[in-house]
Structure 1
Amino acid sequence: MAAGKLFIGRRVRELRLEHSATQSQFAERLGISLSYLNQIENNQRPVSATVLLALADKYGLDITELSTGEIDRLASAVRETLADPLFESYSPSLQELKLILQNAPGFARALVSSHQAYRRHSEQLAILDDRLGRTAFVEGTPYDEVRDFFHYVDNYLHDLDIAAEGLAAEIGLQGGDAQPLLAEFLERRFGVRVVYDASMVSHIRHFDPSQRILSLNPYLPAETRTFQIAVQTAQSHASDAIEAILDKAAFRTREAAEVCRIGLHNYYAGALLMPYQIFLEAARRLRHDIGLLAARFGSSFEQVCHRLSTLQRPGSKGVPIFFARIDRAGNITKRHSATKLQFARFGAACPLWNAHQAFEAPDRIIRQLAETPDGARYLCLATRVTKGVGGFRTQRSSYALAIGCEISYAGAFVYADDLNLADRTAFEPIGISCLTCERTNCASRAIPPLRKQISVDHNVKDATPYRLI
């Protein structure tokens, strides 16, 4: 797959201003003409490999920070926003959209945020039609705000990840059974004693701050108990770093900050049990065999998938993947993508995506070669996991885990070894959601796309009761 042209005018301009240089001075030092620099800064011409290397050599530009993942995520959100009938009189060209994203990403994010607020308030008004006076207006759910926070930091928190990796080295965590090492560290450093309480039938963990006792359910899988000890370590050892992240995030509500605090504790725990460089090297050596990685680090399948989605450290990135967790109703309860494939913010996911089949085939990894309407192709993996204590009277929840990569990276995954990646007919057509997918011949379509009109012929019956025009 050919590499796309690199338009980084805004970053070049920022770099020049950081060094208090005029365009003439900057161009002279890079060895290019003033007019070429002007065109680069205004995103009228892409940056060449020669100029890119000169920027790295003379001005310390970190080339790894130029990943297009953030632009892809933002572009997906803006396209979905503009697909709303509210904007039916405005349909920007691809070039116009690129100019906005490259030159004014802050404006693009503001547009997406405004549209989200509009959608929330529209839904609330619909509820008020039936329940006038009973429903108060709210600013969206805390989970939506926190999910967007992790989405836009690329699911990687550098300072927190580095701190967890440092502590792992101090304690001697190299994978395997980390429970005794973590329990000993908690008691020695913070006076926290870990006990296993057989009376905890439905709870996972309980910490008594006055007694300094962390009680765990002994009936849980070993990897879950280990993870909860790592969470307690995060609460005790990384509280200052976590509070600094929360202060900078400036969430709108206290509830969102509390939800995010849980996410940050979990992030630290995963980074502690699966230290970045050790985990990255193991993932490459084992060719992303998730079962082997889970055994190597004493973690669950889901914990490994989640950790793979965080390998975005500048200068040492892993394979860019997408990762999602879906419940039986089709709700996406976790999502992140470092690929062009971005999950829908409204509506259900595409029914042709293999993630939905995971519930029908427990204990199997389902593979799919898929192609989205933009022509991008992916290796998609899905499996079902069940979470819960497992007692007769306790509830257990099942989820589908979906993970995958763009096809150019499929060779790094053991799951692609016997698949014919060169056969275009082997790729199944999928979309993001019916609301935004404009495929006209999909028998699985649930609703028409927002940007298409429908035509009904009462004399013809096809898979859908209408035709898209």
Structure 2
Amino acid sequence: MAKIALAETGLIGTRVRERRLALALKQTDLARAAEISPSYLNLIEHNRRRIGGSLVLRLARALGVEPALLTQGAAAGLVSGVQAAAQGYSELALDLEEAAELAERFPGWAELITKDQARLAELEEQVQRLTDRLAHDPDLAGRLHEVLSMVTAIRSSASILMETPELEPEWQHRFHRNINEDSDRLAQGAEALVAYLDAPVGQAGQMQTPLDEVDGFWAAHGHHFPQIEARGAEAVAELIAASDVLVSEQARAMARERLGHYAQEAEALPLAEIAAAVADQGTDVLRLAQHLDQPVARVMRRLSHLPQEVIGELGYLSCDGAGAILSRRAIAGFAMPRGSGGCPRWPLYLALGQPGAVIRVEIQQAGQEARHLLAYAHGEMIPAAQYGQPSLHRAQMILVPAERGDATPSEPARQVGMTCRVCPVAGCSARREPSLLQNPADRGAAKEF
């Protein structure tokens, strides 16, 4: 039987004592069942002896509980919640080891902190969804444009009537009719806009834009399409026709184009070849590119296509030259906004200014779980296909857990955000707008460059 690791905290003795008293057991009876002396059990219960291994198993068996309840306690979930809350206040230099003592001695307060942290995370996510919706939702922009157009038309007709008193009755009637019709359209447009804004935001399965539909389609397939890996581009039409996520024609067109690129990359770098290379070389993109004799950009895209059982946990982002997010693959500990507006400190954006270079840096996103990720970023320039056309710049970034074992940089992890509007980091020189998550006195003004 595998041994249990030595308890991290001396409070294990307190849990043993509380469980013994709840069962109305005497120290001598429990000591006999655990095959130890009563005096040694007394030292354990007063947290004057650290224990582990088979002794924990014997005590747990005698007390009728799982060993984890003694080594971790019922407050294990509260400990992680308190520690997660502390991550957002790095300036306070809190000792994370004290979270266990807080959860053990004051479980009610620890639960309150944990619930507040969960609520804060929920509100942060809701703010981000609303920010994305206001900034990147073409449907919302269209409705606002329609309302403003009707207001402008009514104002124009009214101005003509007011400034031209000698207008002929026939023309007056026409302008009155226009105002009446435009007013009806304005009322209808305003009602539709209010109904649209009142609709739930970001509910599971609800797709707001064609990009949402494509992202949902990609995520539903786990970013991997075995049909294309096996049959190439001929499977594209079948995949799109079978999807119940791709509702709009714009989304189907976007998915068709992206799947076509997927098929090209799969043909140039087959699944078996990239999977074998990952098993042998790990996820270091530069080492993989050299091993496979393939462009770094293609290797990174193919890594994003691999199923999780092959590649493990992996995140992916790509953007165009304007910084707008083109595609993404989520990873725990790193929030990704839709469209543009990501953190300027992301290696993804640094790579845009260094086409051909490969950037590798360890990062940690503020406001997220305390997790270090290893980021690989690469920018590329796509030559113009015709005379007079500009070249295109794109960048992509791979994210893997820093503890995966790849050659991790020795520098401290770089602190990055998600987007300036919901970033808790104070005093950031790259901030372009105040954050909603800081006190008004600490927000400061956006930087000018």
Q: Give the alignment's Cα RMSD to 1 decimal.
A: 4.6
Which of 433, 436, 445 pairs up with 1:465? Answer: 445
Larger radius of gyration: 2
Please give the secondary structure, in 2, of the residue aligned with 1:439: coil
- Is 1:131 aligned with 2:117? no
Amino acid at match of 1:304: V
Cα separation, partners in 2 of 1:165 and 1:261, compared to 1, 3 Å: closer
Amino acid at match of 2:393: S
Q: What do the CA deviations read for 1:140-177 (whole angstroms, capped 9, x no partner)?
A: 54233212332454323xxx31x34445xxxxxxxxxx
2:237, 2:256 within 8 Å by CA — same for their partners in 1? no
Which of 244, 248, 254 pairs up with 2:249? Answer: 254
1:324, 1:336 within 8 Å by CA — same for their partners in 2? yes
Cα separation, partners in 2 of 1:93 and 1:256, compared to 1, 3 Å: farther
Q: Distance in 2 between matches of 1:389 and 1:112?
A: 35
TM-score (norm 2): 0.52
Cα separation, partners in 2 of 1:452 and 1:291, compared to 1, 3 Å: closer
2:380, 2:395 within 8 Å by CA — same for their partners in 1? yes
Query: Greater RCO between the two (CA within 8 Å, min separation 6)?
Result: 1
Please give the secondary structure, in 2, of the residue aligned with 1:383: strand
- Is 1:145 aligned with 2:213? yes
Q: What do the CA deviations read for 1:210-269 (whole angstroms, capped 9, x no partner)?
A: xxxxxxxxxxxxxxxxxxxxxxx41x356435532x24x3x3312212322333333344
Which of 397, 413, 416 pairs up with 1:427? Answer: 413
Q: Distance in 1 between matches of 2:360 and 2:374?
A: 7
Correspondence for 1:243: 241
Q: Distance in 2 between matches of 1:115 and 1:449?
A: 12
What is the correspondence of 1:211-226 to structure 2 with a 5 Å cutoff? none
Q: Distance in 2 between matches of 1:307 and 1:141?
A: 26
Q: Distance in 2 between matches of 1:360 and 1:282?
A: 29
Q: How many angstroms does 1:377 deviate by?
A: 1.4
Amino acid at match of 2:341: A
Q: How many angstroms does 1:431 deviate by?
A: 0.7
Please give the secondary structure, in 2, of the residue aligned with 1:412: coil
Correspondence for 1:25: none
Q: Distance in 2 between matches of 1:435 and 1:370?
A: 20
Q: How many angstroms does 1:97 deviate by?
A: 8.6
Correspondence for 1:321: 314
Correspondence for 1:281: 276
1:343, 1:432 within 8 Å by CA — same for their partners in 2? yes
- Is 1:412 aligned with 2:410? no
> Please, which moves more after superposition, 124-133 or 299-308?
124-133
Q: How many angstroms does 1:397 deviate by?
A: 0.3
Q: How many angstroms does 1:434 deviate by?
A: 0.9
Correspondence for 2:382: 387
1:309, 1:320 within 8 Å by CA — same for their partners in 2? no
Correspondence for 1:71: none
What is the correspondence of 1:90-105 to structure 2 with a 5 Å cutoff? 95=115
2:324, 2:339 within 8 Å by CA — same for their partners in 1? no
Amino acid at match of 2:397: A
Q: How many angstroms does 1:98 deviate by?
A: 7.0
Cα separation, partners in 2 of 1:237 and 1:356, compared to 1, 3 Å: closer
Cα separation, partners in 2 of 1:300 and 1:164, compared to 1, 3 Å: same
Q: Distance in 2 between matches of 1:430 and 1:281?
A: 33
Q: How many angstroms does 1:324 deviate by?
A: 1.6
TM-score (norm 1): 0.50
Q: What do the CA deviations read for 1:8-49 (whole angstroms, capped 9, x no partner)?
A: xxxxxxxxxxxxxxxxxxxxxxxxxxx99xxxxxxx9999xx
Runs of at least 5 residues in structure 1 that lack an aligned partner in the other structure = 1-34, 37-43, 48-91, 102-108, 168-232, 457-462
Correspondence for 2:329: 336
Please give the secondary structure, in 2, of the residue aligned with 1:309: helix
Q: Distance in 1 between matches of 2:417 and 2:131?
A: 22
1:323, 1:404 within 8 Å by CA — same for their partners in 2? yes
Please give the secondary structure, in 2, of the residue aligned with 1:405: strand
1:380, 1:402 within 8 Å by CA — same for their partners in 2? yes
Q: How many angstroms does 1:309 deviate by?
A: 1.5
Cα separation, partners in 2 of 1:407 and 1:278, compared to 1, 3 Å: same
Q: Distance in 2 between matches of 1:390 and 1:122?
A: 34
Correspondence for 1:455: 441
Correspondence for 1:354: 347
Q: What do the CA deviations read for 1:38-70 (whole angstroms, capped 9, x no partner)?
A: xxxxxx9999xxxxxxxxxxxxxxxxxxxxxxx
Amino acid at match of 1:280: A
Cα separation, partners in 2 of 1:93 and 1:146, compared to 1, 3 Å: farther
- Is 1:441 aligned with 2:427? yes
Q: How many angstroms does 1:358 deviate by?
A: 1.9
Q: How many angstroms does 1:122 deviate by?
A: 5.2
